[in-house]
Amino acid sequence: MIWSCMEKLPLNQRAAFALREVEGLETQEICKILAVPVTNLAVLF
């Protein structure tokens, strides 16, 4: 059910969620991967 909901999210939001909740990455690592500042990452969550 979670994956079907995630498919409806924009790509950046889906990636941010997966990187944090599935991969367990920290904020700084996610920001580097997605090339977004911390303030923008907070909006994606």
pLDDT means over runs of 10, the chain (45 residues): 81 90 93 92 81
| CA 38, chain centre distance (Å) | 12
d(CA 3, CA 31): 22
Q: Residues in the chain, how many? A: 45
Report pTM. Answer: 0.76
Quote the domain boundaries for residue 17.
Answer: 2-44
What's the confidence (pLDDT) of residue 12? 86
d(CA 9, CA 29): 21
What total of structural domains would you count in the chain?
1
What's the confidence (pLDDT) of residue 24? 93
The values of phi and psi at residue 14, to 5°, are -60, -45
